[in-house]
Amino acid sequence: MTIVPETSGILYIVATPIGNLDDISARAVKVLSEVDTVLCEDTRHSGRLLAALGIRSRTLSMHEHNEEARAGEVIDGLRAGRDYALISDAGTPLISDPGYRLVNSAAAAGLRVSPVPGACAAVAALSVSGLPTDRFCFLGFLPARKAARRKRLEDLTTETGTLVFYESGRRLESMLLDCAEVLGDSRSASVAREMTKVFETVYRDTLANLVSIIGDDPDATRGECVVIVEGNLGEVDSGPQVERALRVLLDELPASAAARTVARLYPVERRAAYAMALKLSRD
Q: Contact positions toward ligand SAM, by CB under 6 A?
A: 18-19, 88, 90-92, 95-97, 120-122, 166-168, 192-197, 224-226
Report the C-alpha gap between 241 and 243 in whole angstroms. Answer: 5
Closest CA to 1 of 115, 108, 112: 108
Q: Cα separations (Å) of 211 from 5, 57, 171, 189, 225?
A: 56, 45, 12, 11, 14
Instruction: For the CB of residue 141, give the shortest distance to ligand SAM in the complex, in Å.
Output: 7
Which CB, 67 or 167, lies closer to ligand SAM? 167
Strand order in the sheet with 58-61: 58-61, 37-40, 84-87, 10-14, 112-116
- In the Cβ-directed half-sphere of 219, how many Cα atoms lie within 13 Å? 9
By beta-carbon proximity to ligand SAM, the closer residue of 9 and 19 is 19
Nearer to ligand SAM, 224 or 269 (CB): 224
Instruction: Name the minimum Å distance from CB 87 to ligand SAM.
Output: 10
CB of 46 to ligand SAM, least distance (A): 13
Please, what is the minimum distance in Å from the beta carbon of residue 164 to ligand SAM? 10
The amino acid that residue 15 corresponds to is: A
For ligand SAM, the closer CB: 36 or 200: 200
Q: Are 266 and 232 in contact (CB under 8 A)?
A: no
Q: CB-wise, 89 or 235, nearer to ligand SAM?
A: 89
What distance in Å separates the CA atoms of residue 167 and residue 170, rounded to the nearest whole number? 8
Shortest Å, Cβ 272 to ligand SAM = 30
Nearer to ligand SAM, 123 or 278 (CB): 123
Q: How far is the CB of 144 from ligand SAM (least distance, A)?
A: 12
Concatenated DSSP letters for 178-239?
Answer: HHHHHH-TTSEEEEEESTTSTT-EEEEEEHHHHHHHHHH-GGGGSSEEEEEE---SSHHHHH
Return the residue nearest ligand SAM (CB atom): 91
